[in-house]
């Protein structure tokens, strides 16, 4: 049996390959996942670089998407619920050039739990802003390279 992180990475890889190929091409991997936060790493490589040898801003958006969305999908799966998930709005602040592998951290586990509780109880769509921070720990420790605010939209799927 796979440990939870390997299982999560296997699911993420399949989801990317079959549903969102750009996620698969970016090769994100989940390195930490618990009830409160998720940390996703995207390697800096030829496919993820721009002409300045830093991570392309579109790939940074993919990392933010995966960090916020995967936590919601994982929590719904743990509850045995199927949800429809989308992002309705995005705000990104690019603070420094990320010139190494980038880690995307979302610490909004409690907020996502509240969102899931509400949509499961009411069946209505719930929208809330989640925050994701992008860092390059090998070069700059915990100093943010970019900060994202994504409006996460969840709704229970009626079976």
The model's pLDDT over 18-36, given as tens digits with 9 standing for 90+, comes to 999 999 999 999 999 999 9
- Structural domain of 108: 4-156
Tens of pLDDT along 57-70?
Answer: 999 999 999 999 99
This prediction's pTM: 0.94
What's the CATH code of the domain at 74? 3.10.129.10
Q: How far is CA 40 from the centre of its chain?
A: 7
Q: Which helix (H) or strand (E) holds 113?
A: helix 109-122
């Amino acid at each position: 049996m796979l440990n939870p992180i390997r299982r999560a990475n296997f699911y993420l890889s399949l989801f990317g390959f079959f549903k969102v190929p750009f996620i698969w091409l970016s090769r994100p991997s989940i390195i930490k996942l618990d009830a409160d936060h998720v940390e996703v790493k995207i390697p800096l490589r030829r496919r993820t670089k721009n002409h300045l040898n830093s991570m392309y801003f579109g790939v940074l958006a993919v990392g933010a998407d995966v960090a916020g969305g995967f936590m919601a999908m994982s929590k719904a799966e743990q509850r045995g619920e199927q949800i429809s998930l989308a992002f309705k709005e995005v705000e990104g602040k690019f603070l420094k050039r990320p010139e190494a592998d980038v880690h995307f951290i979302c610490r909004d586990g409690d907020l996502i739990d509240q969102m899931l509780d509400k949509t499961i109880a009411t069946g209505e769509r719930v929208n809330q802003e989640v925050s994701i921070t992008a860092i390059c720990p090998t070069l700059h420790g915990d100093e943010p390279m970019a900060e994202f605010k994504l409006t996460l939209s969840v709704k229970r799927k009626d079976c």
